[in-house]
Amino acid sequence: MRNIPSFLLLLSLLTAQAQSNEVDITIDTLAQNTYMLTGSGGNIGIYVGKEKVYMIDDQFAPLSNKIKAIITTLTDKPISYLVNTHMHGDHTGGNPNFNTSQTVLVAQQNVRKRLKINGAEKVSANEMDEQDYEKLLPEITFSDDLTFYDGEETVMLFHVHNAHTDGDSMIYFVNENVLHMGDTYFSGRYPYIDLNSGGSINGYINAHKKALLVIDSETKIIPGHGRPSNKSELENYVKILEDIKQIIQDEISAGKSLAEVKNNNGLTSKYDDQYGTGFISPERIREIVYVSLTSPIKD
Ligand SMILES: [Zn+2]
């Protein structure tokens, strides 16, 4: 349970930020019809197709009206499909507000399973009403892959196993050449890996390798958090994670304890200035990798 308190703290900080009126939603245009929206919480992807609009993730509920207003500047068509990259509240909090009769909510099956458990807990604690609970849940789920066709565009959803959680999907817009990686990529900073929800360092690195097989040097990447990225940055990022994993594995093999590894600033110092100033500190990344390498995956 070691990871829960700081993550809950992070989520409550982000929620508090989302509730303030000071959050601005900004747009990055990544391809002809594909956009990244940034506000508070996970980055949103919008694809305006010939017939249909696709939305990837929806941040926190208090931001929904602002997000809807921004989307109307991109298209007057309704959102046909809303995809959740995974179950965390900074990516799914807006589900009840966006899940209208015009919109179909899609996610990997473990996202529904976890949202169901978390949502039911909120209902019994009177933090969510029954109606929002039903609209929170994905209506179509898949196990490994799902493909959508829209005119010239092909939209591929593919599941990566035990990466950031046990329900992560990436979404690749083939002709637009844009990949939304959800929280399997924290561009420019150390990643959060939710070990209590089925995440693991090995799955995280494997997710990057799968993404690298799909994309090319022109691909625009929407990370779950951070600025838009590309293949060479992702290649560099996976090298760093592999190096950190090896450094921690060597410490484990040498019999070092979690506390020793957590407190040994020298282990990751060559990367800390660049990657360790976000919400996952150098100490936290060493802890996450150590715990992941020494414990079975939790589901
Ligand atoms: Zn997440």
pLDDT in tens, 6-55: 555 556 555 555 554 789 999 999 999 999 999 999 999 999 998 899 99
| Dist. CA 150 → ligand 1 center (Å) | 28
Which is it for strands 104-108 and 220-222: parallel, antiparallel or unpaired? unpaired
| Dist. CA 29 → ligand 1 center (Å) | 23
DSSP code per residue over 192-207? P--GGGT--HHHHHHH
This prediction's pTM:
0.93
Nearest to 251 by CA among 234, 263, 241: 263
Q: Quick one: DSSP state of residue 32?
A: S
| Dist. CA 87 → ligand 1 center (Å) | 7
CB 106 within 8 A of CB 184: no
Calculate mean pLDDT across residues 201-212: 98
Calculate mean pLDDT across residues 200-224: 98
CA–CA separation, 160 and 169 (whole Å) = 6
What band does 297 get if pLDDT is binned at 50, 70 and 90? confident
Q: Which 3 state secondary structure label does DSSP give 148?
A: strand
| Dist. CA 88 → ligand 1 center (Å) | 5
Contacts of 96 (CB under 8 A, 6+ apart): 61, 131, 132, 133, 135, 136
| Dist. CA 177 → ligand 1 center (Å) | 23
CA–CA separation, 191 and 96 (whole Å) = 27
> How do residues 127-144 score in pLDDT, each as one tens digit?
999 999 999 999 999 999
- Structure tokens of 175? 């002709």
Phi, psi angle pair for 32, to nearest 5°: -55, -40
| Dist. CA 50 → ligand 1 center (Å) | 30
CA–CA separation, 173 and 200 (whole Å) = 26
Q: Quick one: DSSP state of residue 23?
A: P
Flag whether pLDDT at 205 surpasses 80.
Answer: yes
> In the prediction, which pLDDT does 279 show?
87
From residue 288, give the alpha-carbon distance in Å to each of 189, 244, 298. 14, 11, 14
> In the prediction, which pLDDT does 3 show?
47
